[in-house]
A and B are shown apart, each in its own frame.
Chain A
Amino acid sequence: MSEQLQTPNAAQITRRAVFGGAGAISLAALLAACSPGGARKTLKAAKDLSATEKTCIWDNWPYYMDGEDGSFPTLKAFEKKSGIKVTYNINVDDNNTYFARIKNQLASGTDTGADTFCLTDWMVARLIDNGYVQELDYSKMPNVAANLNPAFKTTFGAFDAGRKHSLPWKGIIAAIGYHKANYKKLTGKDAPTSLEDLWAPELKGRVEVLSEMRDTLGIMMMAAGVDISKFTADDFNAALDLFTKKVASGHIRSIKGNSYVDDYKSGDAVAGIVWAGDLVGANLELGSEDLGVVLLDSGSTFACDNYVIPMGSAHKGNVEEVIDYYYTPEIAAKLALAGVYYVTPVMGAREIVIKENPALANNELIFPTDEMYATKLKQFRPLTPKEDNEFSQAWAKASNGVV
């Protein structure tokens, strides 16, 4: 929420436009910058200045890096080793909001203010389809070639054939979360075992779901027996209808994408659809077992936030060095041990973690087994641009209680 109140990246008006055309042209440029849309053209990647400019700017989501108070131990170690100065900004808190802020620069192939950023599969698919991002050079990233879990390349990388334009940073499992004591108190049961359990009348007004349409409706569709890798509009609408009903009746209290973990602590939420890493992290942070996460038998949605390099970035080489660094198993393990409880795509990390913290390494929500990747975790199928638009609008209306 606070993100939306921050100043968006200033529209990039080139120096020539300002000095060359003075008032009239810059006014026109300003107007053009304000108005969305415009003709699509094939973009060319900016010239890579990595050899001379040893910097790169990386925008990412919160809770994704060790030492987020600013110490950033792994990043600092990288800077020391490589001589590349990395500016790490924690300023992504929503795919749509982030995209809306930089869409004009993406479309024109100019500098977006970041050399790389990590966004979710479906948004990355949109960026790739539009030709907004640069192709990666695997020859510069030996660790990626060696350690990228194949499941992330094939099953969960289908939107980017061969992972030519994007690489996963972290994977996120959506699942059913609940507050153990409060759930027991209200329902008399130990843990929810099905989606149906969330709709128990005793939980009315204390169920919260994710504002990420693909996770919430994905889990609801899976519970209805739908294969989300190939669902139809009817399947989607059936799930949306159920969601709308539960919102209208007040059973679903709110639809959130951040700060919802606090609601479990404060008692506002007792059960709902959550990102597993958030609750696991909250437990480990507090040293308690208050919160529980359940993977339903019907399966869970799995999505990644992926690095991409926008066309306007002039530091592709530097970014590739950063990516390669984070694909070394030791560094991936360090992140997990330091409290980044999302799924790593780096093979070999678990084997290192298990020596120091077996409980963490054996937590299947942080280190899923190959069998889970193969059977339980599913990726929401890519939507056509038109579907994407229609579904998102319908979802937004339902979330805001517009009928």
Chain B
Amino acid sequence: MAFAAFGSAPTTEHKGPTKTSKIVLALLMPGLVYLGLFFFTPLISLVITSLEVPDASGAIGAYQYGFAWENYVTVVTTYMPQILRSFMYAGIATIIALLVSYPLAYFIGVKLRSRPLVQRLMLVLVIAPFFISFLLRTIAWKQIFSDGGAIMQTVYSLGLMPTSQHFLGTDAAVIFGLTYNFIPFMTLPLFTTLERFDVRLLEAGSDLYASPAKVFRKITLPISMPGIISGTLLVFIPIAGDYVNAGQNFLGSSKTSMIGTIVDTEFLQTQNYPIASSLSVLLMAVIVALVSLYVRSSGTEDLL
């Protein structure tokens, strides 16, 4: 699995051929060069940039090499609310996505087994939104939830919300958008695990007088754990760095800025490369830390 890197890779007893052939090395080269050029080089460049200091002119985008680790302190003190908000959004959206996707994936993967055609159709429906650019889909949601749109007009006329308030630009709107955009990433891994789930185990469980809830807790859930882990990671990581949904041109407002929004502004608008870079490095570090902690505490290294 793609996330094997996070667990300690189990060492296999079977030792491969001791003589490394030149062909293997040659085959590996493109991958290594690719990794070197497009992962390590930019990463090093990013870290170096994150330590830069403004030059004497103080002009926009004018920075020189330095060793300003204080940049990290500045970033944490200035952007704490946005950092916390990003992980809060990511956490909530991931949980909602899981709660929505699990029954869906179970339904498609287990209940629809007897009808392969319907099963395939349902899967296509899960993936179908991907056929349209997610920018367009997000803009469409913005139109749907606009103050003059049918939904908000109904809400206003029923008195559910005072007309001075609105849905767009709130935490809820951004979390909605994030969840919506990333749900397929949760559903698909869950589906692949549940698809192979042996339903006879359920019968065995109830034969042994376990209640349905207990069967779910003791059998279904542990077996679907690999799907849950990969789904949550696939959803949580990109959401934490997302900058589209929370942007003011989409579902957000100045009250919903996330780390991605700040990096976007700092890098492209104010060209404050050191701050943008240190924020990116910090985001990367926190995600790696959170994810390894998560994988470890859920005791699923060997599942990955």
Contacts and interface: CB of A to CB of B under 8 A. Distances in A.
Q: Do A and B come from one complex?
A: yes
Interface of A: 1-2, 4-5, 27, 30-31, 34-37, 94, 96-97, 100, 103, 126, 202, 204-206, 211, 247, 250, 252-256, 258-259, 262-263, 265-268, 385-386, 388-390, 392-393, 396-397, 399-402
Interface in B148-206: 148-149, 164-166, 168-169
Interface string B34-47: 00010001101100
Given A256-B249, A393-B272, A385 B254 contact: no
A396 B269 contact: yes
B233 interface: no
A52 B248 CA distance: 47
B249 A386 contact: no
Given A96-B268, A266-B146, 11 more contacts: A34-B41, A36-B61, A37-B63, A96-B269, A267-B147, A268-B166, A392-B270, A393-B272, A399-B248, A400-B257, A402-B81
Given A27-B41, A255-B254, A256-B249, A402 B79 contact: yes
B48 interface: yes
Contacts of B107: none
Contacts of B250: 1
Interface residues of B, number: 55
A266 B143 contact: yes
B268 A393 contact: no
B170 to A, nearest CB: 10
A103 B271 CA distance: 11
Contact of A400 (B37, B45, B55, B254): B254
B64 interface: yes
A192 to B, nearest CB: 18
B58 A100 contact: no
B230 interface: no
Contact of B164 (A205, A392, A401): A205
A34 B59 contact: no
15 contacts: A31-B41, A31-B44, A36-B61, A36-B273, A37-B64, A103-B61, A202-B164, A204-B164, A253-B169, A389-B270, A392-B270, A393-B270, A400-B257, A401-B253, A402-B79
A386 B55 CA distance: 11
9 closest A-B pairs by beta carbon, nearest first, are A267-B148, A385-B59, A401-B254, A266-B146, A386-B58, A267-B147, A254-B248, A34-B45, A400-B257
A387 to B, nearest CB: 9
Interface in B8-59: 37, 41-42, 44-45, 48-49, 52, 54-55, 57-59
A268 B146 contact: yes
B242 interface: no
A396 B82 CA distance: 14
Interface stretch (B98-106, B216-224, B259-267): B259-267
Given A268-B146, A396-B265, A402 B82 contact: yes
A30 B271 contact: no
Contact of B269 (A202, A252, A392): A392
A27 B273 CA distance: 21
A36 B63 contact: yes
B166 A205 contact: yes
B286 interface: no
Nearest to B254: A401
B49 A36 contact: yes
Contacts of B147: 206, 266-268
B45 A31 contact: yes
Contact of A402 (B45, B253, B262, B268): B262
B49 to A, nearest CB: 6
B285 interface: no
Given A5-B135, A100-B271, A392-B60, A259 B249 contact: yes
Contact of B78 (A258, A263, A385, A402): A402
A27 to B, nearest CB: 7
A36 to B, nearest CB: 5
Contact of A385 (B58, B81, B264): B58
Nearest to A101: B268
A294 to B, nearest CB: 22
A96 B264 CA distance: 11
Given A100-B271, A268-B147, A385-B59, A34 B166 contact: no
Nearest to A97: B268
Contacts of A204: 164
B271 A36 contact: yes
Given A268-B146, A268-B166, A268-B168, A389 B59 contact: yes
Contacts of B241: none
B48 to A, nearest CB: 7
A206 B45 CA distance: 43
